[in-house]
Amino acid sequence: MLIKIKEAFNLSYQRSSSGAVALILVIMITALTIVSAVVISMVNTSNLMSAYYFSEDEKTSVDLDACLEDALFRLASSTTASGTYYLNGAGVNCYYQIASSISGGLKTVTSTASSTSDIGYWEDTIVMQINVSSSPISVYSYKNFDMSYASIVEGGSCTATCGNGAVECDEVCDDSNTTTESCGNGSTDVGKCNADCSAVVPDEVCDDGNTNTEACGDGVKQTGGAIYCNSTCTAVVTRNEACDYTGAEEPSDPGCYYGDVGCTIRYNGCRNSCTACAMCAIEL
């Protein structure tokens, strides 16, 4: 009887042990499956990030080429060109700086392109030296700096400081100040940025310190020795007046206006589109 009880106990123990081993195996297999899935997911994520990084690198390279081509065209048109210029729009986001000085017949052009997405910020820079003493101009040297990357997803952030001269994060431009240059300030502004670095200010052709379009009848005698500009600073106005006026037209002498400006005392008016001083009515 005792022997049968021991045999039954041994059989029950063996079955219990087998069940425990099976449970452990199931847990181990499940854990390995989960670990494998996590590893595969991490590999896929890494591949996606690599592909995305490569894509952004390609985009900045294309933008850099666009800026460099524009700089070469500008220098080919005028070797005295200098300043900061922005290319924004039509899928292009870059800017370049042309040095004002020429050293050994060479001018330095620095082009920077950037790209910002939900996961990071990319920036790439190329510095070229252009031989402007040759005809046609030619590229003397070309240096590509390693592209910088700042992650936003991985606990990082992209913080831009408008006015520091560098186009960062989601800035469109940065001209080293936080002022919106405007027509009428007396300076012909080219390659300028607005106060919060969110938009490029349209280039000016001229700026004579006001937003008036100089014309006959404005009470100011404009001569050919000065440069005048229209009200939007988009075109030069050529004026070479003999006189101007501030008064009304003489009814009996069409085209002759009183209140002459720039005439001698023997005259009392200005006529014929500010081309000649006159004695209104008396000459009739």
pLDDT single digits (tens) 99-153: 888 888 898 888 887 776 666 667 778 888 899 988 888 888 888 766 555 554 4
Is the predicted pLDDT of residue 284 greater than 70, yes or no? no
Rounded to whole angstroms, the Cα distance separating 37 from 203 reads: 56
Question: Exposure of 75 by Cβ count < 10 A (0-12 exposed, 13-18 middle, 19+ buried)?
Answer: buried
Instruction: Please report, rounded to a whole number, the percentage of residues in the chain having pLDDT higher than 70.
Output: 74
- Does residue 245 have a pLDDT over 90? yes
pLDDT in tens, 56-110: 567 777 787 888 888 899 889 988 888 888 887 666 778 888 888 888 889 888 8
Range picked from 5-19, 145-159, 204-218, 220-234 for highest mean pLDDT: 204-218
Domain segments of the chain as ranges: 1-158, 213-284
More confident residue, 192 or 57: 192
Q: Does 257 have pLDDT greater than 90?
A: yes
